[in-house]
Amino acid sequence: MAARLLRAMLKVAVLGLLGLSLVACAMILANSGQSQIPPKPPGSLRLASYNVHYILLNQGTGPWSLGDWDRRKAPLDAAVKAVDADVIAFQEMESFSRGDDGGVNLTLDYLLAQNPEYRAAAVGDWRDFPATQPILYRRDSLRLLDQGWFFFSDTPDVIYSRTFNGSYPAFASWAEFQPQDGSKPFRVYNVHFEYKSGSNRRLSAALVRDRIAPVIAGGTPAFLAGDINARHGSATMDLLTEAGLRFAPVDGATYHFNRGINLFGAIDHLGATPDLMPLGPPVVLRQKFLGEWPTDHYPVLADFALPR
């Protein structure tokens, strides 16, 4: 009797695991697919968001180590060149070491050296400006007017203040640009919300809404780009739309576990005010570059017409 019961339990467990495997395979299939980058429409602005993962300066080997950076830096540069954006908002562009010194940013230095057509906004001396979420922009078509930051915290204007629940500091960087073609100045907000705590994400989104809403109400066109760690239609996303932003759904996965495993839908998003007209749906580049995964996220991009 006991043996028969054990066999029945094992059968149920095997069937359960098989069912979960089938569900996972179906989800991966639904959230995958190759996308081709469309030609950039004349006179448009291409905005991109890309989480490039941090570097551990004190580790010589292993995931995200200095040795791993040597492997993935050329593929990352190839990805940036393939995106061909006018403005790219980066997240996790940081090089960690012991202590609080934030003066080293290997990724930013490398990409600027390899891509002289870009300049960096939303950067500065790390003691005054958190420079781990830079916004790169084309120097021949855009002029930087202003930049700033605020932390997802009860004290948002205190640099490196911890988040609402006391976890690691997280923040929004922003930059305002004047197009050289005479279009209206516009602002780009770059965010990275926490992945663990839903309440932290919602409080962060509410703060972003409250900071962006007056800018939009004042007539400044605004974009929001970043790793929101939430799906389209979530409460987090709904809070951001209350500021006056619109988010086109991103089809499929944007995070892939650094393995090309597309288990769930997009958590990286691009939003814009209604006066910034999208010229097509967002595009996700789900592919290796130079035979490697540069990071654990895919770049997301979209083209927009700027108001005059």
pLDDT number for residue 113: 98
Tally of domains within the chain: 1
Does 24 have pLDDT greater than 50?
A: no
Determine, yes or no, domain membership for 281.
yes
Q: What pLDDT score does 36 carry?
A: 83
The token duo for 193 is: 């919300």
- For 123-170, write each residue's pLDDT tens digit: 999 999 998 999 999 999 999 999 999 999 999 999 999 999 999 999
Task: Let me know if 11 is exposed, middle or buried by CB neighbors in 10 A (0-12, 13-18, 19+).
Answer: exposed
Give the domain extent around 280. 31-305
pLDDT higher than threshold 70 for residue 81: yes
Is 290 part of a structural domain of the chain? Answer: yes
pLDDT for 101: 75
In a domain, 3, yes or no: no
pLDDT above 90 covers what percent of the chain?
A: 85
Cα pseudo-dihedral 119, 215, 206, 240, rounded to 10? -70
Per the CB < 8 A criterion, the answer to whether 38 and 294 are in contact is no
Residue 226 resides in a domain: yes
Query: Distance between CA 65 and CA 97 in Å, rounded?
Result: 11
pLDDT at 178 > cutoff 80 = yes
Q: Point out the least confidently predicted range of 35-44, 98-107, 188-197.
A: 98-107
Give the SS3 label for residue 106: helix
Out of 22-26, 68-72, 107-111, least confident range: 22-26
More confident residue, 230 or 9: 230
Q: Are 216 and 224 in contact (CB under 8 A)?
A: no
Q: Is position 297 within any domain?
A: yes
The pLDDT tens digits for 278-287 are 999 999 999 9
Question: In terms of Cα–Cα distance, which of 285, 284, 87, 277 is closest to 189?
Answer: 87
Q: Which CATH number fits the domain that encloses residue 54?
A: 3.60.10.10
State pTM to two decimals: 0.91
Of the listed ranges 5-9, 237-241, 247-251, the one predicted with least confidence:
5-9
Residue 231 lies in a domain: yes
258 is a domain residue: yes
Lowest mean pLDDT among 3-7, 32-36, 53-57: 3-7
Q: Is 1 part of a structural domain of the chain? A: no
Rounded mean pLDDT of 208-214? 98
Task: Enter the tokens of residue 100.
Answer: 């609080």
